[in-house]
Chains A and B, each alone.
Chain A
Amino acid sequence: MPEVRVKPALTLTEKINGEIKLRGETVGVILSEFVRKFRPELEELGALVGERGSKLHPSIIVLLNGRNIRFLKGENTKVREGDLIMILPPTGGG
């Protein structure tokens, strides 16, 4: 299984610092692992939704090597060794 780098950004870094290394075949698997690992911090940040806070809030933007996964294959997007996943909370604008 490839190992990828996960980097929370902006105000998520108030609770989760630095770059985390996680293993998985797809973005979805990596994100689930990320949520499992940091559930208390993410809950405190109000960044989880779903039953017992099982998922990241849909407003959170996930970039794989700078591309929004919405425009790839979403959580089914496959990852490769060394890829960078950035997790961005939404801000305002407009």
Chain B
Amino acid sequence: MKNRVAFLNAGEKKVRLSEEDNPEIIGPVDWGLHCHMNLYESYRYPPEDEHNVLCIGMGKLAGSCIPGTHRLTLCFRSPLWEGFFFSTIGGAAYAFKNLGVDYLTLEGKSDEPMIVALKGKRSGIEVKFRTIPMDELVEIYRGSGGEGAYALQKFLVEEFRSWYTERGNPMDFRGLSVGPASLNTNFGGIFSITVKNGELDEGSEDWAARGGPGSVMFKAHGVVGVIFGGTNDWREFPNTDLKDLERADEVFLRLLGKPVMKAASEATVKYRYDESVGSGGTFGVNYFVLRDSTIMFGWRTVNMPKEKRTELYERLVKGHYLSQFDREITAKRYLRPSITMTSPDARPTVRSKVWKNCGEPCPGVCKKIRGRFKKDYEPYEANGPNCGIFDQRAAEMAVYTVDSLGFDAIEFGNVCGWIFECLHEGMLRPEELGLGDVPSFEPDSFDLRDSHKNMGLLVRLAESVAYGENEIARSIGKGTRRAAKELDRKFGERVRGQKFEDLAVYVAFGREGSITPAMYWSPGNFMPIPIQGKYYTFYHSEFREPEEFADLCFMRAVKEMYSENTGLCRFHRGWGEKIIPKLIEEAYGVKVDYEKHNKRILAKIREYNRRAGVDPVFWESERVIDIVSTMAREFADKNEWAKEWWERFCKDKHGAAREYWSRFLKRYEELLESVNEKR
């Protein structure tokens, strides 16, 4: 398949265009792997080196009228995880497609912080480079009410709005920017917000944050902002024109028996307001379903008896955090015609607000908003109950601050919950972190008002880590695993027999790498696989035999790649996983065995990681072993193998954990090896 590519060199301030006709490259993950494996060999260099190119790309269905096909995928070597990684931004390919290329590879390094603006025209790409002195950058971050990444995004739009206007008409354009966290930590994200007629469309913002792509953009390339847009809407579908909704409807009717918008609408059905649940969205549905398996107080709940967990859930989550959300966000929110499960008297009310989406022409309004606060489950869990915050007002301020500072909010919330526990246990002293108090982290005596005290401490800690204000903050900025080892070295004497590492929750990888798992009490999020912290695993709260579990995790990873390598939103994966190969064939007349191709991508990622000398590492923390082993306990009365494993964990926790982990890895490796054998 032909691919159009732009290479943007931040050091030489040049852009060059190229074409790559390669049957192995059918999507942005393929392009990222090709760059990192073959063109730049980034595995030979540390993640901060300029060889760690940031590959930004759209999928082969971008430009079509099909909702969910305009996610922008960013590939890089993660400074946090140490291996190959990718992260995506919803709706951003809508503006990117006007640049005139499939992929943009950011190479070279600017000595000073730099903003790059690219404008696609039929004649090629025009580019503007603007360096921005560090003190001016920090002034932008700290100015405008200290809104960090949001402030820089506003600056980008204001600075370049007129450049993206032709004869009084604003073009489609959009920016990617980083916050201070990317300057000083390994888990800085990339922020982007839809620009609508030259103005930011607040509430539609999205992040590519997992794995720290923002840290790569700044540390490896000196770039703090990239803006793209233009008028070169070049994408064509030579076989069947999928830009035409009526043609696309014909294809969907033939393949799925329903038109495009019906398929898109049904894709989000499980997240609709559900009368039986009394809530909606991932936030509402997850907290309703998770119940006593909700993570609270730094994952300590996994070691509590079910009755205790249930009491905390009922009092703090269901009784306040969730009910507040339902009252303010989901209650009577949907128009009657669009819901099938809500009560017949549901009508738009004065409380109704407009929900948003990422900018796709999609009927799914996935952004649940109250004022300027966008509510997603994972950041509101990591920086909410996990940090002893159970009030929406406190959680809003916590998440907004963490987002503004440009963190991967899941990573920060997880590390903050751990630091709060260390403070609560007396292993750290508040003054060592520049904090004025210890958090309220005792579940029994916890009062809902303590949420606000904990939020204040979280905000102060976030600022301190984002700006690298003190030694411990700088340690934390390296990632949980590195920080745990540094704290153990520094305070080993003081904590007498306890280890910081044992309270921390992370998936270890390579020499010093790690990542925060998705915020679910699910063993799949801790298994030794090439990419963790995303959904390339079997993420349900279940306990299986390790070999069966490896099979399930591998199968899920293969399926997830359908979405990621096509730039498809995960919410549309239901129909996407069924018909993407057929859609590509319809659009381009090219047959691709996606199943085989996706397996090869996974094997290549493993190969890249091996070349970089990074492999899965056995669970280092007691808490992590507890998370996995207690899931066997939870299922011991439901199936034989869970019962058997729980007995083994009780008898020899570390031995059983090692055996489980090793057997899983052996099977997973066999699955990856078999991909190469079958070629």
Map CB proximity to A onto B635-655 as digits: 1 under 8 Å, 0 otherwise: 000000000000000000000
Contact at B364–A46, with CB atoms within 8 Å? no
Contact at B368–A94, with CB atoms within 8 Å? yes
Task: Provide the residues of chain A in CB contact with B365, threshold 8 Å.
Answer: 59, 61, 90-94
Contact at B245–A84, with CB atoms within 8 Å? yes
CA distance A28 to B268 in the complex (A): 29
Contact at B243–A66, with CB atoms within 8 Å? yes
**Interface size classification for chain A:** 20 to 34
| CB-contact partner of B337 in A10, A61, A68, under 8 A | A10
Map CB proximity to B onto A32-71 as digits: 1 under 8 Å, 0 otherwise: 0000000000000111010000000111110101111011
The answer to the question of B367 belonging to the interface, with a C-beta cut-off of 8 Å to chain A, is yes
| Chain B contacts with A in 289-340, Cβ cutoff 8 A | 334-338, 340
Contact at A89–B363, with CB atoms within 8 Å? yes
Task: Provide the residues of chain B in CB contact with A12, threshold 8 Å.
Answer: 337
Chain A min CB distance to B356 (Å): 9
Chain A min CB distance to B95 (Å): 9
CA distance A10 to B260 in the complex (A): 10
CA distance A74 to B280 in the complex (A): 28
Contact at A10–B361, with CB atoms within 8 Å? no
The answer to the question of B262 belonging to the interface, with a C-beta cut-off of 8 Å to chain A, is yes
Chain B min CB distance to A87 (Å): 10
Contact at A89–B337, with CB atoms within 8 Å? yes
Contact at A46–B245, with CB atoms within 8 Å? no
Binds A, one of B49-57, B269-277, B492-500, B545-553: B269-277
Q: A47-B335, A66-B245 are in contact. Are A94 and B364 (CB under 8 A)?
A: yes
The answer to the question of B172 belonging to the interface, with a C-beta cut-off of 8 Å to chain A, is yes
Contact at B338–A89, with CB atoms within 8 Å? yes
The answer to the question of B512 belonging to the interface, with a C-beta cut-off of 8 Å to chain A, is no
Contact at A46–B348, with CB atoms within 8 Å? yes
In this complex, what residue of B is CB-closest to A7? B245
Contact at B366–A94, with CB atoms within 8 Å? yes
| CB-contact partner of B197 in A45, A59, A65, A73, under 8 A | A73
**Interface size classification for chain B:** 35 or more
Task: Provide the residues of chain A in CB contact with B201, threshold 8 Å.
Answer: 70
CA distance A89 to B347 in the complex (A): 13
Task: Provide the residues of chain A in CB contact with B400, threshold 8 Å.
Answer: none
The answer to the question of A22 belonging to the interface, with a C-beta cut-off of 8 Å to chain B, is no
In this complex, what residue of B is CB-closest to A70? B196
CA distance A70 to B194 in the complex (A): 11
CA distance A24 to B337 in the complex (A): 27
Chain A min CB distance to B337 (Å): 4
Chain A min CB distance to B284 (Å): 10
Task: Provide the residues of chain A in CB contact with B244, threshold 8 Å.
Answer: 66
Chain B min CB distance to A91 (Å): 5
Task: Provide the residues of chain A in CB contact with B367, threshold 8 Å.
Answer: 94
Map CB proximity to B onto A3-29 as digits: 1 under 8 Å, 0 otherwise: 000000111101100000000000000
Task: Provide the residues of chain B in CB contact with A88, threshold 8 Å.
Answer: 261, 265, 363
Task: Provide the residues of chain B in CB contact with A74, threshold 8 Å.
Answer: 197
CA distance A14 to B368 in the complex (A): 26
Which A residues lie at the B interface, using CB under 8 A?
9-12, 14-15, 45-47, 49, 57-61, 63, 65-68, 70-71, 73-74, 84, 86, 88-94
24 contacts between A and B (CB under 8 A): A9-B262, A10-B337, A46-B336, A47-B337, A49-B348, A59-B348, A63-B361, A65-B245, A71-B94, A73-B197, A84-B245, A88-B261, A89-B335, A89-B337, A90-B355, A91-B265, A91-B272, A92-B269, A92-B364, A93-B357, A93-B364, A94-B364, A94-B367, A94-B368
Which B residues lie at the A interface, using CB under 8 A?
65, 94, 172, 194, 196-197, 201, 243-246, 259, 261-262, 265, 267-269, 271-273, 280-282, 334-338, 340, 346-348, 352, 354-355, 357, 359-368, 376, 571
Q: Which 7 A-B pairs have the closest CB atoms?
A: A94-B366, A66-B65, A93-B268, A92-B272, A93-B364, A93-B366, A11-B337
